[in-house]
Amino acid sequence: MICAGETSCHRMPVRVYFEDTDAGGIVYYANYLRYAERARTELLRELGFENSAIMAQKGVALAVRRVRAEYLKPARLDDALCVETRVLAVHGATIDMAQVVRRDDEDLVQMCLTLACMNAAGRPVRLPAEVRNEMVRIADGGPED
């Protein structure tokens, strides 16, 4: 669900399953990156884009170039979580985002990341205009270049 307000964000619910946890029932740290990836994919889908279609029609893909994660509190087996995604800035070939994994009103993990648009050879290329326009529309600060 894309939400409006002072800043636009996308929210995606996640349930913690046994496969997500370690022997103590705590979510393994790398699984938060999986939750974040799924949330970004669903954001694109709700904006009208599927990763497979972008790759097939435009010959490009969005890849994580940089991510910084702050692990604040653990999630546990059977927790109901929410991943919030915000587009912070849109550049020629990159998108800056913030993602937060929450349980109720409690931040568990905060992430800042940059997505890069790449061609099939792995070289950076400009974002497709229609993707860029939608990202700019929902971005907190609008375009930066």
pLDDT at 145 over 90: no
Please indicate, yes or no, if residue 144 is contained in any of the structural domains: no
Cα–Cα distance for residue pair 145/138, rounded to 1 Å: 16
pLDDT at 1 over 60: no
Please indicate, yes or no, if residue 21 is contained in any of the structural domains: yes
Please indicate, yes or no, if residue 143 is contained in any of the structural domains: no
Give per-residue pLDDT as tens, 6-38: 457 999 999 999 999 999 999 999 999 999 999
Whole-number pLDDT of residue 144: 56
pLDDT at 5 over 90: no
* C-alpha torsion 28→30→75→25, nearest 10: -10
User: Is the sign of the CA dihedral 36, 87, 5, 1 positive or negative?
Assistant: negative
Please indicate, yes or no, if residue 23 is contained in any of the structural domains: yes
* Catalytic residue selected from 20, 22, 78, 79: 22
124: domain range? 2-138
Whole-number pLDDT of residue 141: 57
Cβ neighbours, 10 Å, residue 121? 7
Please indicate, yes or no, if residue 102 is contained in any of the structural domains: yes
pTM: 0.90
Whole-number pLDDT of residue 140: 80
Whole-number pLDDT of residue 78: 97
Please indicate, yes or no, if residue 145 is contained in any of the structural domains: no
Phi-psi region of 76 (alpha: psi -120 to 50; beta: other; left: phi over 0): beta
Number of separate domains in the chain: 1
Cα–Cα distance for residue pair 81/104, rounded to 1 Å: 7
Please indicate, yes or no, if residue 9 is contained in any of the structural domains: yes
Q: Is 22 a catalytic residue?
A: yes
Phi-psi region of 40 (alpha: psi -120 to 50; beta: other; left: phi over 0): alpha
CA atoms within 13 A on the CB side of 14: 29
Give per-residue pLDDT as tens, 32-84: 999 999 999 999 999 999 999 999 999 999 999 999 999 999 999 999 999 99
Cα–Cα distance for residue pair 101/49, rounded to 1 Å: 23
Give per-residue pLDDT as tens, 87-139: 999 999 999 999 999 999 999 999 999 999 999 999 999 999 999 999 999 99
Please indicate, yes or no, if residue 74 is contained in any of the structural domains: yes
**Domain containing residue 74: CATH number:** 3.10.129.10
